[in-house]
Amino acid sequence: MGIELKINNKLAKKVTAVSEQLNIDTNELIIKAIKKFLHTQEMSVFRKQLKGIAKKNGFQSEEDIYKAIS
């Protein structure tokens, strides 16, 4: 499956400059950036889910969790 991506000239220039600095293909840089973004979003969702579970179990803060495991 392929995806066509259109970006403005300013962003394209930045991508090109960074890819040259890192000595990697622009396509590889874009793929790495997207993967990192998606991972960050997945971790954010996971953290929100864990926060909900923790609250249901009486933990209101990270300090509460620390006290419970210490």
**For 31-66, what is each residue's pLDDT tens digit?**
999 999 999 999 999 999 988 898 898 888 888 888
pLDDT of residue 21: 97
Is residue 1's pLDDT more than 90?
no
Structure tokens that stand for 12 in this block: 């394209």
Is the whole model's pTM more than 0.85, yes or no?
A: no
pLDDT band at 7 (very low <50, low <70, confident <90, very high): very high
Is residue 11's pLDDT more than 90?
yes
Distance CA 70, CA 66 (A): 6
